Structure 1
Amino acid sequence: MTDGPTFTKSRVALLVSGFLVNVGSFSIYPYLAVLLRDRMGMGMGQVGVVLGLATLVQFASAPATAALAERVGLQRSLLGATVLYSFGGAAFLVGRSLRRSPSSVCCSSPPGVRSTRRPTAAISCTG
């Protein structure tokens, strides 16, 4: 007689993949802060609000998404979540191609922000 659920191969795969999705999602947050500040010109207060709202929406929407998963089925909801997650990654890659040139990132700062960065040896910042 077992006291708890048994760990089948599919359950272990689901737990491992869920862990990897969370690690991937939360490990990008520090980079997003830099991206929003340096590439999009947001102030640190705005960056905090954007990332805070993203986290709030993620956790606050859990009851609604759980109800949706109960209604449409676990496999279909996981498939839909994977598709949406993939679209998010693709949108990030497209957004990356719209970034400013390396010399403008090196030499310029958002309005009202004094840059303390020094140019790297590979990029020459000439006014």
Structure 2
Amino acid sequence: MISPEQVRLVSGASAPILLLTGAPVHPALPALRLRDGAAPALDGWSVLARLTLCVLDGPGDAGCLFPTLGGAAGPEQVSRWCAEVERAGGALVVSLPDGTDPDGPFDWPALLDGRSHGGFARAAA
């Protein structure tokens, strides 16, 4: 389980984004590099988005769980993000190394230079 302070739920992009910082799954995820403007699929990974919790499940023992309420996002924002995950069929997972503030401003092109890890995780049924 990770703290809600390590998570940011981003809505309004072409796909909902699950932004993690200092999460134990970071080394298990591949370096995130866009291909033809799209994020690669995370084979073997899924995301279960609910109002009270979110599960990012990977192959083997890889994965994490975190409460969605209680962090920076309020219930309406979490509900909107969960609905976007359902509509998009998943979420773009962006995992940042330790020491990055998930609520700070981001230079998205710099994040996609291999420093961040992740890809598109399909929604769990």
TM-score (norm 1): 0.26
* Greater relative contact order structure (CA < 8 Å, 6+ sep): 2
More strand by share: 2
Instruction: Select the structure of larger CA radius of gyration.
Output: 1
